[in-house]
Structure 1
Amino acid sequence: MTWLLTPFDVSFMQRALLAGVLVSVMCALAGTWVVLRGMAFLGEALSHGMLPGVAIASLAGVNPLLGAVLSAAVMAGGVTALGRSRRLSQDTMIGLLFVGMLATGVIIVSHSQSFAVDLTGFLFGDVLAVGAGDLLVLAIALGLVAAVSLLGYRPFAAVAFDVRKAQTLGLRPGLANALLLALVTVTVVASFRVVGTLLAFGLLIGPAAAATFWARRITTVMVLAALMGILPTVAGLLVSWHWGTAAGASIAAAAIALFFLSALLSVVRGRNSLSDN
């Protein structure tokens, strides 16, 4: 058992683990709604659409988190404004904004001498360099996401399954959608500095999607998604420690692998149930 426990005797591994747990729980709360609402593409667009703001903030010597917030706000505002058009689908609008923002960010970063390093850090973060300030930001963001998820549970659930019924019940689906967008934005922005946008998106979608194979109640999906997010976090950190791989990428790969394993086991379970009948 020493191979399992020894890595976490080191302080930076303990902080990385705590950061991973906070991100996993936060992504489980927001990711459940993302999966139920079919907003995965929006989550990806928001996570990668932050690059222009992060790039400009880095070049200007400003905290990248501020640039991420502004860029994500522009992206979210653009999705909301363009989504009102009836000529094109929302996915088309999101795709156009996504490519435009990402391309702009790459162009800006390409002028920096540390292009490769900056882009790698943006995608995968540096979970092994997490500090006390980063943990505080994650804890505050988790509290905010948990509060919004709790207070908005009823309208979120209604909108996820039947928008017309939500409208009939007076639950204001437009406001619910705006809050969901804000929820995803806060989650992605709070997570990217520590774990990168790729890992944040992986933990946002993978564990929640995997949990839907085993649960039907929304709250149960959230709990399972949190556990299924923590497991690849531990596994990824262990792989990184023992085999010298990139920690963020290892965690992201483990999260996606867990989803496919869950899907495979679900298929096997379904076949066994049919054979028993």
Structure 2
Amino acid sequence: MEWLIAPFEVSFVQRALWGGVLVSVICALAGTWVVVRGMAFLGEAMAHGMLPGVAVASLAGGNLMLGGALSAAAMACGVTVLGRSRRFAQDTAIGLLFVAMLAAGVIIVSYSGSFAVDLTSILFGDVLAVRSQDLLQLGVALALAAVVCAAGHRAFVALSVDRRTATALGLRPRVAHGALLLLLTLAIVSSLHVVGTLLVVGLLVAPPAAAMFWADRLPLVMVGAALLGSAATVIGLLVSWHAGTAAGATIALVAVALFGLSALFSVLLSRLRPRRDAARAVSPEPLPERTP
């Protein structure tokens, strides 16, 4: 059991573990709605849209999470405005802004020749460099995400079913959509230190999608996603420690692998159930007991 315990006796791995767990819970809350509403492409675009803000904040010596949040919010506003056009679909606007923001980030980064290492951590995360201050910020972000989820749950459900239904119920679908984008931005920015901008969808989408194979109620999906994301963090850190791989990328890969395993087991169980039902149908009923 030494190989299992030894990595987590190191202080920076402990901080990485807590950071990964906090991010997993935040992503579970936001990612469930991303999967339900089919917003994975938007989430990917917003994650890449953080790059200009993070690059500017790094060059200016500011807060990376704040810079990323402002950039992701600008991306979300642009998608919302362009998505109202009837001449093209919303995914066209997402694709165009996605490329524009990513290109702008690379151009900003190119102004500094010594920015390569920082760029790598921004794109792929550096969970082993999580500080105590970062854990405090993640705790605040988790509290805010929980408040948004609890307050907007009814409106989010109605918005996922039909926008007209949400309007008829007086739930203000535009406000609900804005709150959902805020929740998504919060999850993406919180994941910056753990998996970076390129791999954030791994924690945002894979655990909730995997949990949906085993739960049919949204609160249970969120709980299952949080557990699966936390498991991906633990397994990913263990593999990274012993195999010498990049921690953030390993965590994201394990999260996707857990989704694959969930899908495989779900298929196997669905094939076994008809056989069990058929066996029960042809099995003879027990004989009634004789009374003396």
**Same fold by TM (over 0.5)?**
yes
Rounded to whole Å, the distance in 1 between the matches of 2:251 and 2:97 is: 28
The equivalences for 1:248-267 within 5 A come to 248-267=248-267
Rounded to whole Å, the distance in 1 between the matches of 2:257 and 2:263 is: 10
Say yes or no: does 1:155 pair with 2:155. yes
CA shift for structure 1 position 159: 1.1
Aligned residue for 1:119?
Answer: 119
Secondary structure, aligned partner of 2:198:
helix
Aligned residue for 1:95?
Answer: 95
Structure 2: segments with no counterpart, 5+ residues? 278-292
- RMSD over aligned Cα, in angstroms? 1.3
Is contact 1:15–1:131 with CA below 8 Å preserved after alignment?
A: yes
Is contact 1:123–1:196 with CA below 8 Å preserved after alignment?
A: yes
4+ residue runs over 4 A deviation: none
CA shift for structure 1 position 168: 1.7
Letter in 1 for 2:242: H
The equivalences for 1:15-94 within 5 A come to 15-94=15-94
Rounded to whole Å, the distance in 2 between the matches of 1:244 and 1:114 is: 25
Letter in 2 for 1:142: L
Rounded to whole Å, the distance in 1 between the matches of 2:223 and 2:267 is: 22
- Per-residue CA deviation, residues 200-254 of structure 1 (Å, 9 max, x unaligned), is 3211111001111111100000000000101110000001111111110110110
- Per-residue CA deviation, residues 68-100 of structure 1 (Å, 9 max, x unaligned), is 122112111111211221111111111111111
Letter in 2 for 1:209: A
Letter in 1 for 2:105: G
Aligned residue for 2:286?
Answer: none
Is contact 2:130–2:193 with CA below 8 Å preserved after alignment?
A: no
Secondary structure, aligned partner of 2:62:
coil
CA shift for structure 1 position 194: 4.2
Is contact 1:27–1:200 with CA below 8 Å preserved after alignment?
A: no
Rounded to whole Å, the distance in 1 between the matches of 2:204 and 2:5 is: 27
Aligned residue for 1:137?
Answer: 137
Aligned residue for 1:196?
Answer: 196
**Does 15-24 or 104-113 show the bigger shift?**
104-113
Rounded to whole Å, the distance in 1 between the matches of 2:63 and 2:169 is: 43
Letter in 1 for 2:99: V
Is contact 2:195–2:252 with CA below 8 Å preserved after alignment?
A: no
Letter in 1 for 2:109: V
Rounded to whole Å, the distance in 1 between the matches of 2:253 and 2:203 is: 10
- Per-residue CA deviation, residues 127-160 of structure 1 (Å, 9 max, x unaligned), is 1111111001100000000010011111111111
Is contact 1:155–1:176 with CA below 8 Å preserved after alignment?
A: yes
Secondary structure, aligned partner of 2:214:
coil
Secondary structure, aligned partner of 1:187:
helix
Structure 1: segments with no counterpart, 5+ residues? none
Is contact 1:198–1:252 with CA below 8 Å preserved after alignment?
A: no
Aligned length: 277
The percent identity for this pair of structures is 65
Secondary structure, aligned partner of 1:50:
helix
Aligned residue for 1:6?
Answer: 6
| Structure ID, larger Rg | 2
Aligned residue for 1:268?
Answer: 268
Rounded to whole Å, the distance in 2 between the matches of 1:160 and 1:176 is: 10
- Per-residue CA deviation, residues 17-57 of structure 1 (Å, 9 max, x unaligned), is 00011000010000001100111011111111111111122
CA shift for structure 1 position 123: 1.7
Say yes or no: does 1:180 pair with 2:183. no
Secondary structure, aligned partner of 1:197:
coil
